[in-house]
Structure 1
Amino acid sequence: MSAETLNARKPLSGGNADQPRVDLSEPLDWLTAGFGTFRAAPGASLFYGVLFSLACLAVLGLARELPGFAVAFLSGLLLVGQFLAAGLYTAARQLERGNTVSIAAGVGLLLRRRVHLGLFAVVLALIMLAWLRLSALLYDLQTGAAPPSMESYLGLFHGGGDPWVVLYFTGIGFLLAVTVFCISAVAIPLIVDRDASPLAAVRASARVVARNLPAMTIWAAFIVALTGIGILTFFVAMVVLFPVLGYATWHSYRGLVERE
């Protein structure tokens, strides 16, 4: 039996639920480690960063051409980002093992994990589909028009809509973001590294977020802030920020799951 198989079957213990495991300074350590991994593999890192930035620009273009599907395109981008980051996790994993980073070998590993990765993608897609349907319903109740465009949604937040509807949109969007973060904080790295089942990965991710809520809140704030910088630079900065965040997520997985 291979070492990888043994690692994939390593159980995730329950641990002590009462004691926080991560210092508040550790999210910054993950980011620092992410920059270090970026410097160790600049070629592969920039490859994934460029792919993600191009995907962002493509979604922006599609949203302008087909504004009625803008929110659907943005939701799809979240899925694309999650699984492009999986390529970064394979690169970080290769570096940890003292190997040269190989995109081809990384793709091969992802293909071997395709069943569990695919099932996890279905979980995320269902959550985002629920958000799309609910947001469209709320918009229809507010305006009587469908399908909503991105400009229409933004109009709600510029004095063009009922404050209660704006509150609903804000609350539902926040719940969507929190849900996705909680179930995916370490889920895809865990699937990539150990070939964990989607259920085990989601449970492990929710568990480490719940047990380390203050530190994970800081980590989520870093992600939002750096993503905001990427958007403000019309995704140019995402060429570097996306791989750095991906590698930092891998290091957060190592730090969090090793405490389980």
Structure 2
Amino acid sequence: MTAFHVMAGGNEAFVRPVVRKIGISDIVDAMKLGLDDFSEKPSHYVFLCLMYPIAGIFLAMWSSGANLLPLLFPLMSGFALLGPLAALGLYEISRRRELGLDSSWQHALEVRHSPALPSIIAVGIMLVALFIGWLIVAHALYGAFFGDTVPPSISSLISDTMTTPQGLAMMLWGNLAGFIFAVIVLATTVVTFPLLLDRDVGAVAAIDASIRATLTNPIPVALWGLIVAVGLVVGTIPIFAGLAVVMPILGHSTWHLYRKLIVAPQQQQ
């Protein structure tokens, strides 16, 4: 049975993985390797890739009711905050392919047997909390500029947001708040989940490694965040279907980015 250890790794020791300084070329190479993983057996990833767009469509439909319309765009954009968690199975497939193991899609579910599962769950809860926090902030901003007024339709919501002074101000502050949430998620999870799958170091040590990797490589990590953001936006066209291709490529690339950012134990000698 998996031991419940989150603060430290399986041996109860707090280990700080060594962070490597990388360049822009490493980001490009990670993307190429991620594309190779996806191209190897793309049919095996259909099951995993469809979960994300289906969830996105569900959220969009759920928010289409009149009372929830103001949360439509925060939900669509904020759902990206859960991306690192949604791509867990993709990291596992890349890990298995790297080791020369069977990388069929069903092995993505092997994550549930990981000794680091408690730590993975803990970080997942953190992401869900940030997602909920973003929705609360977005709802508060809408209330601050539009009060209790609820738009009768999506077209009305878009018109109010794009053509009125209060709508433009709300967009400005909303984008700023969204950027802050996105930076927090990027800095705390850029290598966290792949590291936990690879080494059971504990949630705190994994997040610490991710933050140190970000601070050591601000420009490459910022570029990676931009690539992810643009990819997810493009993937939502049409009707989130593009995420079925974008998500696996980004997921596999994240694994290879982790390999470039974190020095393997055997390489530390």
Category of TM-score, reference length = shorter chain: 0.7 to 0.9
Asked if structure 1 preserves the Cα contact closer than 8 Å seen for 2:37 and 2:252, the reply is yes
| Cα deviation 1:83-106 (Å, max 9, x = unaligned) | 331000111111111111144443
Structure 1 residues 91 and 168, CA, compared in 2 at 3 Å: closer, same or farther?
Answer: same
Deviates more, 1:233-242 or 1:246-255: 233-242
Deviation, structure 1 residue 13: 4.2
Task: Give deviations 1:157-182, integer Å, cap 9, x for gaps.
Answer: 40224354432212111111111111
| SS class of match (1:179) | helix
Q: Structure 1 stretches of 5 or more lacking a match?
A: none
Q: Aligned equivalents of 2:151 and 2:112: distance in 1?
A: 36
User: Map of 1:61-80 to 2, 5 A cutoff?
Assistant: 61-65=61-65, 66-67=68-69, 69-70=71-72, 73-74=75-76, 77-78=79-80
Once the two structures are TM-superposed, the CA of residue 242 in structure 1 deviates from its matched residue by 0.9
Which whole-Å CA distance do the structure 2 matches of 1:114 and 1:156 have between them? Answer: 45
Find the counterpart in structure 1 of residue 138 from structure 2.
135
Question: Which structure features the higher share of helix residues?
Answer: 1
With normalisation by structure 1, the TM-score equals 0.83
- Any idea what SS the aligned residue of 1:232 has? coil
Q: Output the aligned Cα RMSD.
A: 3.1
Paired amino acid for 1:61 = M
How does 1:31-180 map onto structure 2 within 5 Å?
31-65=31-65, 66-67=68-69, 69-70=71-72, 73-74=75-76, 77-78=79-80, 81-112=83-114, 113-145=116-148, 151=154, 154-155=158-159, 157-162=161-166, 163-180=168-185
Alpha carbons 1:70, 1:149 under 8 Å: kept: no
Mean CA deviation greater in 78-87 or 210-219: 78-87
TM-score (norm 2): 0.80
Distance 1:108 1:8, change over 3 A: farther
- Structure 2: 5+ residue runs without aligned partners? 1-8
- Aligned match of 2:214 in 203, 209, 212? 209
How big is the shift at 1:251? 0.4
Instruction: Report sequence identity in percent.
Output: 24
Deviation at 1:141, TM superposition (A): 1.8
Residues 142 and 73 (structure 1), Cα distance of their counterparts in 2 relative to 1, 3 Å cut = closer
Aligned residues: 252
